[in-house]
């Protein structure tokens, strides 16, 4: 499962732009992204694209 570190996320939305499954969602009210685990197909596009390295895989 992929997790967004909200302390690193700057809300630029790059992850949501590259997510083909629509699982990386930008919460505009909070200015942070989150990954919907029910929608995520674990392709890691969001993780490899995030310039802040705010997305990681939970072990």
Structural domains of the chain, ranges and CATH numbers in brackets: 2-57 (3.30.70.20)
CA atoms of 55 and 6, how far apart (whole Å): 9
Q: What is the pLDDT of residues 8-58, one digit of tens each?
A: 999 999 999 999 999 999 999 999 999 999 999 999 999 999 999 999 999
Beta strand 55-57 with 32-35 is: unpaired
Per-residue pLDDT, 16: 97
Is 90 exceeded by the pLDDT of residue 59? no
């Amino acid at each position: 499962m992929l997790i967004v570190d909200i302390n690193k996320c700057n809300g630029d939305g790059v992850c949501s732009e590259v997510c083909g499954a629509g699982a990386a969602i930008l919460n505009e009210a909070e200015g942070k992204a989150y990954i919907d685990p029910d929608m995520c197909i674990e392709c890691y596009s969001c993780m490899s694209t995030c310039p802040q390295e705010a997305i990681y895989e939970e072990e």
